[in-house]
Chain A
């Protein structure tokens, strides 16, 4: 099961806060984060890594990115 955080349209640091909230909520598993700026792509990946999550995949999608993070 994976959950999606749609952080498109939000500016920094909101996408990071939304990602950290979801990480706290689910604890483990897989989360897809949608962002629409390079800054958010980099910051969300960094935030996930700092919490012990892995950035599994980053895909360009539309005008932004689809970031998949996971933790076993």
Chain B
């Protein structure tokens, strides 16, 4: 597909970014994103919250502020009670209110399989756009949410997840990345992305691919949801997580330093995951403290950006 050139297009299709960014005037750009998926939890209201938090996250990951959103709904109206849809939409709306985002419309179609999500539009200063590229040698990497939602959701489907794990996982997925994004934009940040389908290591790979830097991930410092390791050992690993590893393993150095299961958790496909922020070392500790003070409790320094090996991730 030929890419269209436009001098006002700041972020387009080319780099697998979280959202598109288009400059409207010298001091204002719009951030546009769309995301929707099938239910990952049974409770409709919770699913609505998760889907909305996940969709909004793409704007936060660019350093933007979401302003308005539209619902996208696929619903099997002949098979499912309409109250289920009402609960999903209510969950979504409550998250939009929390994010101070206005719901301005939407579209629904009849479909055999239920799906829900949002198209979100936000604003940002054209010179303050954060992409997944731009990490510099010496930066520290902060991750703002624990990993494991993919594995726990798979276990939940099989009825094998402990209720504590499920509760923590739901709390993680329904939490907006709003606070983390606001605090991040108060300091000089070099790059950011949100950890979703490719897992922590998959998204880290995107940040270094073709770049003049590499990354070291402090594997033992990465926050992980309770029970995840045990569920991974039991073989409750989503196909997407295994595909993430198989696709990116050539870019990972010293992968055999940790157990297969630990590696898979670092590759676990996340729903509504946290932000992965590349911040200069001198600001890392203060940003981390601010995150903790403001309720982003799981935030942790999980790695650093290094000059060598370029384009690779080292497990440390």
List residues of A whose CB falls within 8 A of some B CB: 11-14, 16-17, 20, 37-39, 42-48, 50
Are A12 and B238 in contact (CB-based, < 8 A)?
A: yes
How many angstroms between the C-alpha atoms of A15 and B241 in the bound complex?
17
Selected A-B contacts with CB under 8 Å, 25 pairs: A11-B239, A12-B236, A12-B237, A12-B239, A13-B157, A13-B158, A13-B160, A13-B235, A16-B234, A16-B236, A17-B158, A37-B239, A38-B242, A38-B246, A39-B239, A39-B242, A39-B243, A43-B235, A43-B236, A43-B237, A45-B235, A46-B235, A46-B237, A46-B261, A47-B234
How many angstroms between the C-alpha atoms of A6 and B159 in the bound complex?
20
Most buried by B among A11, A12, A13, A14: A13
Report, as a range, how many residues of chain B touch the other chain: 10 to 19
B234 to chain A, nearest CB (A): 5
Which residues of chain A are near B160, meaning CB under 8 Å? 13, 17
Are B242 and A16 in contact (CB-based, < 8 A)?
A: no
| Count of CB-CB pairs between chains A and B under 8 Å | 50
Which residues of chain B are near A48, meaning CB under 8 Å? 235
Nearest B residue (CB) for A39: B239
Most buried by B among A20, A46, A47: A46
Are B239 and A16 in contact (CB-based, < 8 A)?
A: no
How many angstroms between the C-alpha atoms of A16 and B158 in the bound complex?
9
**B154 adjacent to chain A (CB < 8 Å):** yes
Which residues of chain A are near B243, meaning CB under 8 Å? 39
How many angstroms between the C-alpha atoms of A50 and B238 in the bound complex?
17
Which residues of chain A are near B239, meaning CB under 8 Å? 11-12, 37, 39
How many angstroms between the C-alpha atoms of A20 and B155 in the bound complex?
13
B193-238 CB contacts (< 8 Å) to partner A? 232-238
Are A46 and B242 in contact (CB-based, < 8 A)?
A: no
